[in-house]
Amino acid sequence: MKTRFTLIAALLLLAQQAQALSLPDAAALASQTSIGSAQAGYNDLEQQMQQALRAALQGNNPQLTRNLLEKAKQSPTQADYAWLKSSGYDFQTKANQQAGIALLAGFSSLPASVLDANRATVTQINLNATQGTRHQALADAEGINHLYFLADALGPRLGKAFLTAYDKGELGKAAALIKASEVSTSAAKKHFNYPRPFLHQGNTIHLVPDDVVVKDNHPYTAEGGSFPSGHTNTGYTDALLLAEMVPERFEALVTRGARYGYSRLVLGVHYPLDVMGSRMVAERNVANYLNDARYQGLFSEAREQLRAALEKECGTSLAECARSTGKDDPYRSPQMKRFYRFTLSYNLPQTTGKHVAVTVPAGAEVLLKTALPQLSAAQRRALMVKSALPGGYPLSGNAEQSFWQRLDLTAAYALATQP
């Protein structure tokens, strides 16, 4: 009993520390997972990722142009589209889009003070970003239609094996299924119709020129509504599904989804609320799919192929290949848990008074199933409740909204696995 209370006390302390993480502290942690960081092994992997991305985007063309970038998608070698199509699986896109809009309904009634803080936060992150963080943001943005961005969260050894297997077509089922599981945010963008930061009257946003991917120095912008973020939806969906397939890197991959969303603020094309909302929707969508028996069948087949391919490329067990390499593996740094916690709220204003209690929606505990297979569904739900973010942050209205806004998967995992 004493050990149990000690664990809870430790978690509460972690929550308090993470909640107090400042914007400069968050920026410093983001810099550690950016191109040009102080870790040589990590930088080598980032360089390999960039080269692979640019080669895939360019294809057989004499040079990479922005026109090619806009038409990019995974090649038939990388993604087994035929396998997925033959399954006939219906992803229920429209129904899931409407569920996402309902989940984010509170955005339309946010007070001016929250929206002001929302603008101030993205402006500070955008203007104070380092060159390395901007380069990372460009690579994240331009690689949206591929899975290269996930490699760095796997660590130098497993990350390189992932890149090799991906380009050889050994992960084809997973590559096809993961990308098909992204539920477009286009309907929500049209519904909320909120202008992007660089379009807001009186903004001072710095638009970042592309000197990383296309290398044409064209200022990076984006079209359509700002809320919620389509790129963040992609980043979280892809990262969560790969985390379910490779639970040996669960925390690192989930954090990669958050880091991908942070890149959108670095570029000045999205607000914190856009990123927060997309995280909520992506987690809800992934849980919804994983609770569907037909999807689970496809997922299991893809997962088995992916794990076998990674072990083949590693030449050892997946557990061994996934082990941390210390400073060259920044996504395994304990400090990144603080960064992840920060991205749940971006320190936006909380409401005062009594908040809705954390209630786990039916089936949401599936997000911890492969990472914590030794626990029952009830135990995983209990972890989600114990590790949740404090209440009152924006987008946490009714019980379902409050749960997804406050869900901290990395803290829940840590609570179950710490010594």
Confidence of residue 2 (pLDDT cuts 50, 70, 90): very low
Percent of all residues in the chain with a pLDDT value above 70, rounded to a whole number: 95
For the chain, the helix, strand and coil percentages under 3-state DSSP, each to the nearest 5: 65, 0, 35
Confidence of residue 318 (pLDDT cuts 50, 70, 90): very high
Helix (H, G, I), strand (E, B) or coil at 209: strand
Please list, in sequence order, all residues whose beta carbon lies within 8 angstroms of the beta carbon of residue 295, skipping any fewer than 6 positions away: 89, 289
Do 96 and 185 form a contact (C-beta atoms < 8 A)? no
Q: What is the pLDDT of residues 348-386, one digit of tens each?
A: 999 887 788 899 999 999 999 999 999 999 999 999 999
Please list, in sequence order, all residues whose beta carbon lies within 8 angstroms of the beta carbon of residue 154, skipping any fewer than 6 positions away: 161, 162, 246, 249, 252, 253, 322
Q: What is the pLDDT of residues 276-307, one digit of tens each?
A: 999 999 999 999 999 999 999 999 999 999 99
* 109: its two tokens: 């009634």
Q: What is the pLDDT of residue 19?
A: 52
* 3: its two tokens: 């050990």
Q: What is the pLDDT of residues 339-348, one digit of tens each?
A: 999 999 999 9
Q: What is the pLDDT of residue 325?
A: 84
The whole-angstrom separation of Cα 222 and Cα 243 is 28
Question: Please, is 28 exposed, middle or buried when counting C-beta atoms within 10 Å of its C-beta (0-12, 13-18, 19+)?
Answer: middle
Domain boundaries, the chain: 2-354
The backbone torsions φ and ψ at residue 209, rounded to the nearest 5 degrees and listed phi first, read: -75, 140
The whole-angstrom separation of Cα 254 and Cα 204 is 31
Q: What is the pLDDT of residues 230-241, one digit of tens each?
A: 999 999 999 999
Q: Specify the fold of 2-354.
A: Vanadium-containing Chloroperoxidase; domain 1 (1.20.144)
Question: Residue 26: which of 338, 333, 400, 390 has the closest Cα?
Answer: 338
Do 229 and 158 form a contact (C-beta atoms < 8 A)? no
The whole-angstrom separation of Cα 399 and Cα 413 is 22
Please state the pTM of the whole predicted model: 0.94
List helix spans (H) across 316-361: 318-321, 335-343
The whole-angstrom separation of Cα 328 and Cα 27 is 19
Helix (H, G, I), strand (E, B) or coil at 356: coil
Residue type, 265: L
Q: What is the pLDDT of residues 386-407, one digit of tens each?
A: 999 999 999 998 999 999 999 9
Q: What is the DSSP letter of 204?
A: -
